[in-house]
Amino acid sequence: MFGAKVTLVYVFDLYSHDASQLYVRSLSEVAEEQQNLARNKLDSFLTSEFPVGECPRILSSGVAATQITQLARANRFELIIMPTHAGPFRRMLLGSTTAKVLNDADCPVLTTQHAETISPRQLEHREWVCAIGLDSDSERVLRYASQAAESVHANLTVVHVIPASGADLPAGIT
């Protein structure tokens, strides 16, 4: 949509193996196998849409949200695009990777429903919303959203929510 360079990032859990494997092999052997499996998965992912020679692929291990935000900073990414997996109950109890990236990233984060839960459709988004908090970073976020929406001829709606002053008062729209 923007003619941007795409970098695919895959963060895997180095320790997501069956602990019984450690009785047969050393931790370093199991870790190497996990890394090789993750590398193969990343390198074979959507190769026709994102050719390996044109779209860098970064493999990392650790806490996904931390790794994503650190990689975005280090590589000076201008936008992070990622799906959201967790439902409201899980986010409330545990938090989600996407929610943590939204909170910690220095660049804008575009989220959408996970691709497995929505039907595929043409990428022609024309109605965009930008939620701002009127803090020191809101001007930068609003300028970015405005320029991006203008570049694809999308309508941009700006939202700022003010909490109700009493616990029993409903929030209103003005």
Q: What's the confidence (pLDDT) of residue 122? A: 55
Mean pLDDT of 51-63: 89
Dihedral Cα 128, 173, 118, 101, nearest 10 deg: 70
What are the two backbone dihedrals, phi and then psi, of residue 73, each rounded to the nearest 5 degrees? Answer: -65, -50
**Residue 161: per-residue pLDDT:** 76
CA separation, residue 83 to residues 28, 52, 162, 170 (Å) = 32, 22, 27, 30
C-alpha distances (whole Å) from 46 to each of 39, 90, 132 are 13, 29, 34
| Model confidence at 94: pLDDT above 50 | no
Indicate if the pLDDT at residue 74 is higher than 90: yes
> Tell me: the pLDDT tens digits for 12-47?
877 665 666 666 777 778 788 888 888 999 999 998
Average pLDDT in the chain = 78
pLDDT of res. 90: 52
- Confidence grade of residue 168 (pLDDT, cut at 50, 70, 90): low
Highest mean pLDDT among 10-14, 61-65, 89-93, 163-167 belongs to 61-65
Phi, psi of 94, rounded to the nearest 5 degrees: -110, -20
Between the alpha carbon of residue 51 and those of residues 43, 71, 114, the distances in Å are: 9, 21, 22
> Contact, 42 vs 8, CB < 8 A?
yes
Q: Which of 62, 49, 36, 37 is nearest to 8 (CA)?
A: 49
Comparing 66 with 109, which gets the higher pLDDT?
A: 66
Whole-prediction pTM: 0.67
State the pLDDT at residue 18.
61
